[in-house]
Structure 1
Amino acid sequence: MSALTKFLLSSAVALSCGLSLATTAHASYNSLFAREAYYAKHEKLDATRSFERPVGQHQSVYATQTKKGTLRNVSLLFYSTKQTTHFTHYAKSWVNVRTMTNGHVYAYTQRTVYGNYLVHYHELKPGQHVTLTAGKHRVTISYAKTHQLNFKTPQLAVRAHLKTGQITFNGHPITSRVNRSFKGAVPTKGKRTTRLIKDAKRYRGVPYRYAGRDAFGGLDCASFVNQVYLDVEHRDIGGMTGVQQKLGKHVAVSKAKPGDLLFWQISGQKYTYHVAMAVGHGRLIEEAGQSVHTAKIANRRPQFAIHMH
Structure 2
Amino acid sequence: MAPSRWDRLPGGRLLGGLLALGLLAGCGHDAVRRAPPRSASTRAWPTVAPADPASANAVLMRALGLVGTPYRYGGNTPEGGFDCSGLVNYVYRDMLDLRLPRSSRDLAAMQGPRIPEDRLATADLVFFGSAGAVSHVGIYVGEGRFVHAPSTGGTVRLDRLDGPYWRDHYSGAKRVLH
Q: Which range, TM-score by smaller chain?
A: 0.5 to 0.7
After superposition, what is the alpha-carbon deviation per residue over 1:181-236, rounded to whole angstroms, capped at 9, x for unaligned? xxxxxxxxx81111110011111111111111222111100010110000111011
1:218 equivalent to 2:88? Answer no
Contact 1:258 1:280 in 2 (8 A): yes
1:285 equivalent to 2:150? Answer no
1:307 equivalent to 2:149? Answer no
Instruction: Give matches, 1:128-147, under 5 Å.
Output: none
Q: What displacement does 1:241 show?
A: 0.9
Residue identity in the other structure for 1:304: G
Q: What stretches of structure 1 of length at least 5 have no aligned partner? A: 1-189
Counterpart of 1:229? Answer: 92
**Alignment length, in residue pairs?**
118
Tell me the TM-score normalized by structure 2: 0.62
SS at structure 2 position matched to 1:191 = helix
CA distance in 2, matches of 1:203, 1:268: 29
CA distance in 2, matches of 1:236, 1:280: 23
CA distance in 1, matches of 2:81, 2:89: 13
After superposition, what is the alpha-carbon deviation per residue over 1:127-178, rounded to whole angstroms, capped at 9, x for unaligned? xxxxxxxxxxxxxxxxxxxxxxxxxxxxxxxxxxxxxxxxxxxxxxxxxxxx
Query: Out of 119, 132, 138, which is 1:276 matched to?
Result: 138
After superposition, what is the alpha-carbon deviation per residue over 1:19-75, rounded to whole angstroms, capped at 9, x for unaligned? xxxxxxxxxxxxxxxxxxxxxxxxxxxxxxxxxxxxxxxxxxxxxxxxxxxxxxxxx
CA distance in 2, matches of 1:240, 1:284: 18
Counterpart of 2:120? Answer: 256
Identity among equivalent positions (%) equals: 25
Q: What displacement does 1:266 show?
A: 1.5
Query: Out of 134, 153, 161, which is 1:297 matched to?
Result: 161
- Divergent runs of 4+, >4 A: none
Contact 1:199 1:228 in 2 (8 A): yes
Deviates more, 1:200-209 or 1:247-256: 247-256
Counterpart of 1:209? Answer: 72
CA distance in 1, matches of 2:118, 2:135: 20
User: Judging changes above 3 Å, is the alpha-carbon distance between structure 1 residues 200 and 242 closer, same or farther for their aligned structure 2 residues?
Assistant: same
User: Judging changes above 3 Å, is the alpha-carbon distance between structure 1 residues 268 and 239 closer, same or farther for their aligned structure 2 residues?
Assistant: closer
CA distance in 2, matches of 1:258, 1:307: 9
More helix by share: 2
User: Judging changes above 3 Å, is the alpha-carbon distance between structure 1 residues 268 and 288 closer, same or farther for their aligned structure 2 residues?
Assistant: closer
1:238 equivalent to 2:101? Answer yes
Contact 1:212 1:219 in 2 (8 A): yes
CA distance in 1, matches of 2:85, 2:125: 10
Contact 2:132 2:171 in 1 (8 A): no
SS at structure 1 position matched to 2:156 = strand
Instruction: Give matches, 1:1-309, under 5 Å.
Output: 191-247=54-110, 248-269=112-133, 272-289=134-151, 290-299=154-163, 300-301=166-167, 302-309=170-177
Residue identity in the other structure for 1:282: G
CA distance in 2, matches of 1:283, 1:220: 18
CA distance in 1, matches of 2:129, 2:113: 15
Contact 1:223 1:238 in 2 (8 A): no
CA distance in 1, matches of 2:90, 2:172: 21
Q: What displacement does 1:253 show?
A: 2.3
More strand by share: 1
